[in-house]
Amino acid sequence: MPVLKIILTRFLFVALLIMPGVGHLPAQPPVPREYRIKAAFLFNFTQFVDWPTASFSTADEPMVIGVLGENPFGAYLAETFSGEKVNGHPVLIQHYDHADEIKTCHILFVGLSDPKKSQEVISDLKERSILTISDMPGFLAQGGMIKFFMKDNNIRFEINLEATKAANLVLSSKLLRLAEIFDASKNK
């Protein structure tokens, strides 16, 4: 009799799953390969950037990775950081619709399509130790810190050293060797 009960339970479970509207979660669109790679870059940046000690009020305060505006990562960014710690800090992923929502943040991916809004955000965050990252054209000239770009069908990144220094962020020489360095004097 127990075997029959197990078979019936399995049958009912499968039947419930295939019934229209029951057991179905809304499908999330697949994250493009480009943004899966960029999520991995964000994770790696945490290993090669030092934030001022004042950036964390306690030893176990979360490191906040934020996305402002459009979230091209979908759930993949959270999956990339799931269960990870950075220098003893658990990682928390936050999504922001507006810059005024940003309280504590350590890395911010700026996914705004309007360059004027992006410029305002960069200006507002200038005094804070937040590593700002985007793939938007002109981002570094606005004062952003890291910009993703495509070169020879590969994702690369460029760093605005003046902006990182102004935010009191220290970048590892290992990270700098992999980057192209933005020359602010050529873009003024």
Q: What is the pLDDT of residues 133-149, one digit of tens each?
A: 999 999 999 999 999 99
pLDDT at 104: 93
Whether 19 shows a pLDDT value over 50: the answer reads no
Give residue 29's pLDDT band: very low, low, confident or very high (50, 70, 90).
low
**What is the rounded distance in angstroms from the CA atom of residue 66 to the CA atom of residue 186?**
30
What is the percent of the chain where pLDDT is above 90? Answer: 76
Q: What is the pLDDT of residue 28?
A: 57
Q: 172 or 114: whose pLDDT is higher?
A: 172
**pLDDT confidence of residue 39:** 96
> In this predicted structure, what is the pLDDT of residue 115?
87
Q: Is-contact 47 86, C-beta < 8 A? A: yes
> Which residues are CB-neighbours of 14 under 8 A, at least 6 positions away?
none
Burial 70-104 (b: 16+ CB within 10 A, else e): ebbbbebbeebbeeeebeebebbbbbbeebeebeb
Q: What value does the CA radius of gyration of the chain take, rounded to a whole number of Å?
A: 21
What are the structural domains, with CATH classification, of the chain? 31-187 (3.40.50)
Residues contacting residue 104 through CB under 8 Å, at least 6 positions apart: 61, 64
